[in-house]
Every structure is written in structure tokens, then in C-alpha cells.
Structure 1
Amino acid sequence: MLKLTLTTALLTGVSLATYAQDEPHRFEVGLEVVNYSPFAKQVYNYASNQLNDKAHWASGAVFRYNLGRFSLRSGVSYNTGTNNTEPNNCADCAVGSSTGKDLRLRLGGQYSPLVKAPWLYVFSDFYYRRFTSEGRFTGGFCGCLDTDVEVTSDGVGNSTGLGVKIRTWKHFYLNPEVYYDVLRAPNHVSSADRNSGNHFQYDTRTKQQAPAIRVNAIIAF
């Protein structure tokens, strides 16, 4: 339902935007209302290295500095989530949950290729992503698989896509963007046995790529 609603809003916005008499403004600031990635791969494991929620609400801010048809843009987003790990067909495995935190800092540019359609633009953002998670697990036949798992990750990514500006009232407008997101990140995993006190450390890698859509609420001045 969310996928259909956002798609409908984007198509409607493109139609409405053609009638908007857009006035140039130097600065734009706003809120990232929703970010939705319907085809993102969900991964559930003990060493959680990503958030599995497909939709994130009111989780970021955006800023743009307009220079005619070209604009500099930046943004920040912060999300948290909990993943429950319950292995199927494994009575001797530990169960539990991990809580993750995802911070992203973006910097990029956008360009309006059509003079008569300044509300339509292409963009590309590069971003830094800091992810951490803490998990607590227990179980097994012996009831002794008591393990704490921590993950830290610093990665980089790119989002490239197409956006439209839909002016709704004076200096306020909605701003849907459709883009393709690519992320690469190394992960450091630390596992501790609460009973024996033994610690284990190892490294993994995160590779994510999927289309997504976000809707911003913008004030221009």
C-alpha cells in the first residue's frame, strides 16, 4: 500500500508541477518526510550490519544552495531499529535481538536540464555512513549460549536519481525523489561469551544496492 501511495503521489506531482510558476530562491531547507526502499534485501543474523525497515519516517534534514540551474545539496539522516533473530529449524541455536543505529551524511549536486521545466532535476549524492549495533542472545539445549555481539561499520555510498518540485503554497513545496542507492562498508564484529568471558573478533563486509524513493518537505527563501 505504501509503495502504491508513494508512486501515485510522484506521478501526480509531475503533472501538477508543470503548472507551477516556480520562482528562483537561493536557499532551501527541509525535512526528509519518508524514505522507502521496497526492494532492499533484508538480512537477519547475529552480527547485524543493517537496518531492515523498508520505510523510515521523519528521519533526516536537507539543505540546498541554488546557483541557477545547478544546486549544491547536503543532508543528514539518523535511524534506529531492532532486529529479532530466531533461527528456523534449529533448536540448539541462540535467539535474541540486536538494536542498530544508522547515521548518514550526504553531499552532492543537482541540475535542471530543461530551461522550461526548472522543477525537474537530476542529482547525485555521495555519503558517509556510520552504523553500530548491539545484540544480546541466549538459548541452546544447554541454555548456556549467552553471547553479546557488537558491530561497528564506517562505509561510503552513492545515490543518483531524478527529482521534482511540487509547490503547494508560496515558499513551501513537496519534493519527491526516485534514486538508485549503492553502499559499500567494512564491518568489525566483536563477540563476547557472558559465561566464559571469552572474546572473539572478526571482519565482514556490507554490500547494498536497490532503488528507493523519498519525499522531502521544503521551504525556499
Structure 2
Amino acid sequence: MFDGCPECGGSYEVDAAASAVVCPNCGRRVSINREPLLIVSGASGTGKSTVLRELSGTREDVVFLDSDTLWREGFWDELDWYFRTWLRLCRDVAQSNRPPVLFGGGFGVPANLEPHSELEWFSSVHYLALVCDDDEQKRRLRARSSAEHPNQYDMSEDDITEQVEFNRWFKNEADRDAFTMIDTTERTVETTARRVNEWITTHTDSD
């Protein structure tokens, strides 16, 4: 939708103060909606997919998105393309006057998003991370089936160890000023989904 100026093919630049984009080549100006971007993240096994299923269809003021929809193993060699493509999709979703709520593990690492100019299209970016105890995470990952998680099933012990380390990163390294944390170890799905829903409301109402 906004990947190039239709008049000259130039790349738009965001004028945040005016909620518009401008082509620096020909001067074409287009108004845009700058909605907040909400990221629900966490390592595999902490509850993202379960919460997304619980919340899907419950709100009309936001758009829920699952980053696994586009994921393929070959993207390990094209991670920048993967993150940027999702930012473009969220940018276009935001033009419907509804904030995108993107569920995805790697999107909770700000360094994966910050290099991309598409972030300028959003009024703000908010991060929520689901975390849990190591033993509970391992139990959940070993119990997964291909039917429930077609993109991540049959994880090796090395894969599980990697996800446990990722979970620890959120718990120990993530910037507490930027992140909201929800520990899902002993919370029911309903309780966790309610907390996530409240977080979404807080950050959509405030913007």
C-alpha cells in the first residue's frame, strides 16, 4: 500500500507531527493513521498461542495477528526480511484505524525491530512478555503435538534448551521500563488472557 510513491516510485518518509507521509522526490503527501503497535512476546511454551486463541474474536477495536502465519524454516537466513515484512503488514492494518496486536517471540527483542524505518509509522510501540518457570516450560514443550503447533512440533532437546534460555532472557535481561511481564506458570489460561486483554486496553486507550 505504501511501499512506493505511485507518482514517481520514490520511498515515502514519515512526517510524524502531521500524521502523514511525504515523497521527497515529488512532494506527494498522504495522510496516515499512526496507531500504537502492541507486541505480545515470550519464548515458545510460555502461552502466546493459547492466549491468542482465547482472545481471537473477542474485540473489534484491535486486529490480532500471529507471526507464525508467515514463518518458514528458510527465514532463519532472512530474519530482517521477516521482521520488516510483518512491520509493513502491521503498518497497513493500522490504516483501518485499529491498532495491530502482533503475537511473536522474536518481535519481543527490540533490536530486531529498531533498525527498520517502518516503526516510524506507529504512534508508539509497547511490549508484553509471557514468561514461566523453566520446568513448566519444558513440560509444555515436550507435550506439544503437530496438530496444535504445526510450525514448532517435535522439538529436540537442544531446541527446548534454546527456548528455555530465551525465556530466561525475558526474565533477566529485558528492559523493565519497556516491558510488561506476565508469569503464566500457575495462572489459568483465562486469567492470563484477561491480564493481556487489560494491557491491550490500557495501551490503546492511552494512545
User: Relative contact order (C-alpha < 8 Å, sep 6+): which is higher?
Assistant: 2
**Which of the two has greater helix per residue?**
2
TM-score, reference length from structure 2: 0.23
The structure with the largest alpha-carbon Rg is 1
TM-score, reference length from structure 1: 0.22
**Which of the two has greater strand per residue?**
1
